[in-house]
Amino acid sequence: MKPLIKENLREKLYFYCLLYLALSLPFQFIWFPPTLGIIFLMLTWIFSFDFRQKGKYLSKNLLFKIVFGLFLMSLVGMIYTPSPEEGWKDVTVKISLFFFPIALGSYPPIRKEKLNLLLKTFAFAMGLAVLYLILKAGSKFLDDGDLNHFFYGNFGSLKRVPIHYFALYCNFALFISLDFLFNKTKGSPFAIKLLFGALSLLLISALYLCSIRIQFIAFILVLVLFFIRQFRGKMPNYKIALSLFGSILLISLIAFLIPESKRRITETLDEYSAFRGREELKQMNHRVFLWKYGSQVISENFWLGTGTGEANNALYEYLKNEKAKFWDGTGVYTLSKKKYNYHNAFLQHFASNGILAFLFLVALLLIPLFSKSHEFSMVQSVFLVLVAISFMTESMLERQAGTLFFGLFYSLIVINQRK
């Protein structure tokens, strides 16, 4: 069948759709929805036809098969779930794990210059999103004089991008900016380097304002990776170690000087003391209980899971009898008040769809590290490490902000960028 959209036009339409997604993802405003980019990308894919050639590309792409397998497990879980309504909501949220891999895995790799432009667009869009939130917080501060508008949940006021996800976006955009600053602006005018330097500082500032502890830990760990990959062989190891130590020390000192980030560090130390049994009155983090009871749900549903959409109900059966009290910064709460997810993507998938879904998720992150058929760039390394760390404390693929981010960039810089 003759395609309605020829290859040259298809490439241009694809690029413009991806450019739109890179611009809209940080904001996800109702009048600027990423969904619009997905729809046009899907229509372009369908009307370019040539499904046999697309099938050949996909059949040779192991990582596509694994992502598709993970999505397929959600569909299979609908057969035996006792909560079909919740299950379909879960499948709908995960649709990005179905469409992006197909759309970007069924064509040759996007050229480097276009890929770099897409990554730069996302990084600068994140910079604009940070400025938007700072201005919004500043406006509220002028009204009531409350500095808390600039920090944590009060700062992240984008309705469809919760603060934990916004901090993840900032982290990824930051290392994109640093990669361009150190590696991709050689020979460029000083103004361009200055622009990327300013963007990097803005995004680091946003991490302090967000005050999301796991993203700060991720930032430091990825910074170590970045230093090693960037400077190994270019300077003596002891200089790398000293530079890295100095950078981490400076970052930590700044964190202690900012009231909100200092409070979050203090909370972490209190939680650790409570976890070790040294302090009973300051248990603030409920994740330990979610993980403990989540592991029990998994042990009871090891092979197939509870079924798609049922895992949180199964977890609640344990939580509803838990009497432990927690502090959220404004008041005391208990875990019986509402249904929680597992706050861990690995446990969430294990509980929902069993051992195979868990193995698929682990494979998505590990196989690119050893595959010879895929490019392994700095940006790809950063992305995989950031996502792996984020998966440990958030059920990231249960929220649209998580599936859009993961589905788009995993497909764009991992699945599509094969040799």
pLDDT, tens digit (0-9, with 9 covering 90-100), for 242-258: 999 999 999 989 988 88
Bigger pLDDT: 153 vs 81? 81
Kindly tell me if the per-residue pLDDT of 99 is higher than 50: yes
Within 13 Å, how many C-alpha atoms sit on residue 245's CB side?
Answer: 6
Give per-residue pLDDT as tens, 311-327.
999 999 999 998 888 77
Kindly tell me if the per-residue pLDDT of 78 is higher than 50: yes
Give per-residue pLDDT as tens, 193-221.
999 999 999 999 999 999 999 999 999 99
Q: What is the pLDDT of residue 128?
A: 98
CA distance 160 to 180: 28
pLDDT band for position 375 (cuts 50, 70, 90): low
Q: What's the one-letter identity of residue 229?
A: R
Kindly tell me if the per-residue pLDDT of 280 is higher than 70: no
The two tokens of residue 383 are 């992305």
Within 13 Å, how many C-alpha atoms sit on residue 376's CB side?
Answer: 12
Instruction: Please report, for residues 184, 193, 200, 413, the alpha-carbon distance to residue 188 in angstroms, rounded to integers and kept in the order given.
Output: 9, 7, 17, 24
Residue 22 lies in a domain: yes
Kindly tell me if the per-residue pLDDT of 401 is higher than 60: yes
CA distance 301 to 45: 38
Residue 16 lies in a domain: yes
CA distance 254 to 262: 9
Neighbours of 141 (CB within 10 A): 14
256: exposed, middle or buried (C-beta count within 10 Å: 0-12, 13-18, 19+)? exposed
Give per-residue pLDDT as tens, 13-60.
999 999 999 999 999 999 999 999 999 999 999 999 889 999 999 999
The pTM for the full model equals: 0.95
Residue 8 lies in a domain: yes
Residue 20 lies in a domain: yes
Q: What is the pLDDT of residue 43?
A: 95
Q: Please answer whether residues 94 and 403 qualify as being in contact, where contact means their C-beta atoms are separated by less than 8 angstroms.
A: yes
Residue 43 lies in a domain: yes
DSSP string, 349-412: HHHHHHHHHHHHHHHHHHHHHH-TTB---HHHHHHHHHHHHHHHH--GGGSHHHHHHHHHHHII
pLDDT band for position 85 (cuts 50, 70, 90): very high
Q: Please answer whether residues 414 and 63 qualify as being in contact, where contact means their C-beta atoms are separated by less than 8 angstroms.
A: yes
Q: What is the pLDDT of residue 374?
A: 59
CA distance 315 to 395: 14
Q: Which domain holds residue 10?
A: 1-49
Distance in angstroms between the alpha carbons of the first and the last residue of the chain: 29
Bigger pLDDT: 301 vs 267? 301
Q: Please answer whether residues 296 and 318 qualify as being in contact, where contact means their C-beta atoms are separated by less than 8 angstroms.
A: yes
Q: What is the mean pLDDT of the chain?
A: 91
Kindly tell me if the per-residue pLDDT of 272 is higher than 80: no
Q: What is the mean pLDDT of residues 134-157?
A: 91
Q: What is the mean pLDDT of residues 290-305?
A: 97
Residue 294 lies in a domain: no
Give per-residue pLDDT as tens, 340-364.
999 999 999 999 999 999 999 999 9
Secondary structure of residue 327 in the 3-state scheme: strand
Q: What is the pLDDT of residue 278?
A: 46
Q: What is the pLDDT of residue 367?
A: 92
Residue 39 lies in a domain: yes
Residue 15 lies in a domain: yes
CA distance 92 to 406: 15
Q: Please answer whether residues 267 and 259 qualify as being in contact, where contact means their C-beta atoms are separated by less than 8 angstroms.
A: no
Q: Give the total residue count for the chain.
A: 419
Q: What is the mean pLDDT of residues 161-179?
A: 97
DSSP state of 111: P
Secondary structure of residue 109 in the 3-state scheme: coil
Q: Which of 231, 165, 226 is nearest to 390 (CA)?
A: 165
Q: What is the pLDDT of residue 72?
A: 97
385: exposed, middle or buried (C-beta count within 10 Å: 0-12, 13-18, 19+)? buried
CA distance 211 to 297: 31
Neighbours of 57 (CB within 10 A): 16
Segment of 98-102, 231-235, 413-417 carrying the highest mean pLDDT? 98-102
Domains contained in the chain, number: 1
Buried b (16+ CB within 10 A) or exposed e, 285-324: bbbebbeebbeebbeebeebbbbbbbbbbbbbebbeeeee
